[in-house]
Amino acid sequence: MNINSKLSSRLKVGLLGATGMVGRRLAQLLVDHPWFEPVIFVGSETSIGTSYRLLWERKEKLLQGHYGMQLWNVQHFPKALDGTTISGFPDLLNSDIEIVFSSLPERAGAFEATLLDSGRIVFSNSPYRRFDVSAALVVAEVNGNEMRECRLIKNPNCVTSGLALVLAPIASRYGLDAVVVTTYQSISGRGDARYAADLVIGNVYPLFGSEEQTEGNIRRELDRVFRSSFVASITCNRVCVQEGHFVEVRIKTKNPIESAEEVLHTLSLFNPLKSLGLPLSPAQPLVVVHEAGRPRPLQDSDHSRGMAVAVGNISIDDDVFDLRLTYVVNNLVRGAAGGAVLNSELWFHQKMRARSDSAETLRTRTALHSSS
């Protein structure tokens, strides 16, 4: 079904938390999107009426000044949004916009609840209600069918977003008993809240015991996405990289693996959304890299505009585990803003397909009735 041919105009959408790091990346992804047109950009009360460009460039300069020009490359404001000012939440609530993308901090999650009470559909990167059974926690290629009847669709932590893609084809072919994960996460995962320089510059900062509950959240998210009994051990660290998380994975499978080439082939074939033609869906969700010393965040976080996960170092030669590999996920695109947009595309495709099927069923029944 070609949705582009069925749309007379782009659907107007709103961005909640538009001035934050993930909100800014959402604006970049949506400004030229063929299906959705962002028209309301909501920020904090103190930012209402302020130039979006001014706020954007100010935040990027603060990050660059804090971490240094050699580490931090600024993200440029989209020219198509010149003249845009930041709106308040009432402007969004009183509009006729039905679809909202949210990247709020958890403490501000009540705004999402208000939108849901008003009948909106919310695609959210916020931790707020991420584990609520009434919300869908979705990685589009893995459990996209779970959002069919939901109006609050969450995407998981940036590490989990990549990990779920890597584990899904392995789980399908071999089954999973245990997964051990060690992360080396970029500082942009913290958003605009800047780390003290001595924690991350020239350093590795373990997140265990910190205010960031990343390790526990990843375990809980895996349980929700896979609904399975495999156990997981997670260790998370921050490293001095701007964008792209590097992750080591060790796996015990239920069924034997014959060769590393077999795993490579399994990962390369994984592409459940291939036939749908979703605008942000990567040509290949898992890109296998063969070069020694790869994948690396700087070289491998932008495959398919940041929507593909790069996998490498695949090995079955281990005395403890059946399989070892590493991957790089773009934490701001695939792991955050892009994951939310892809979920919205799949949700919209499902709705359009359901309407098309209902119309076809009605035509068939009418034809049968007429012929009788």
DSSP states of 172-235 as a string?
A: HHH-EEEEEEEEEE-GGGGTTSPPPHHHHTTSEEE-TTSS--HHHHHHHHHHHHH----EEEEE
CATH number, position 194: 3.30.360.10
Residue 177 shares a structural domain with residue 318 = yes
Residue 175 shares a structural domain with residue 309 = yes
Pick the catalytic residue: 236, 245, 303, 349?
Answer: 245
Residue 342 C-beta-side C-alpha neighbours within 13 Å: 30
pLDDT band at 196, cuts 50/70/90? very high
24 in any annotated domain: yes
Query: Which 3 state secondary structure label does DSSP give 348?
Result: helix
In the chain, % of residues over pLDDT 70: 93
Residue 99 shares a structural domain with residue 211 = no
pLDDT of 8 reads 63
Give the H or E element holding residue 46: none
Residue 225 shares a structural domain with residue 315 = yes
Strand-strand pairing, 11-16 and 36-42:
parallel
372 in any annotated domain: no
Counting the structural domains of the chain, the total is 2
- 240 among known catalytic residues: no
Count of all residues that appear for the chain in the document: 372
Pick the catalytic residue: 66, 76, 150, 158?
Answer: 158
Which pLDDT tens digit goes with each residue over 292-329? 999 999 999 999 999 999 999 999 999 999 999 999 99
pLDDT band at 159, cuts 50/70/90? very high
CA pair distance 115, 111, nearest whole angstrom: 6
Residue 213 shares a structural domain with residue 324 = yes
Q: What is the pTM of this model?
A: 0.92
Q: Which amino acid is at 119?
A: G
pLDDT of 367 reads 55
pLDDT of 360 reads 53
CA pair distance 213, 60, nearest whole angstrom: 26
Q: Could you tell me if 213 and 301 are in contact, meaning their C-beta atoms sit under 8 angstroms apart?
A: no
Residue 321 shares a structural domain with residue 348 = no
CATH number, position 105: 3.40.50.720
pLDDT of 2 reads 59
Residue 118 shares a structural domain with residue 227 = no
Residue 136 shares a structural domain with residue 230 = no
Q: Which domain holds residue 326?
A: 158-331
Which pLDDT tens digit goes with each residue over 199-255? 999 999 999 999 888 999 999 999 999 998 899 999 999 999 999 999 999 999 999
Residue 145 shares a structural domain with residue 251 = no
215 in any annotated domain: yes
Which pLDDT tens digit goes with each residue over 58-83? 999 999 999 999 999 999 999 999 99
pLDDT of 4 reads 56
369 in any annotated domain: no
- 150 among known catalytic residues: no
Residue 299 C-beta-side C-alpha neighbours within 13 Å: 11
Residue 207 shares a structural domain with residue 105 = no
Q: Which amino acid is at 317?
A: D
pLDDT surpasses 70 at 1: no
Alpha-carbon distances, residue 155 vs 57, 152, 203, 249, 260 (angstroms): 27, 10, 29, 21, 30
pLDDT of 139 reads 98
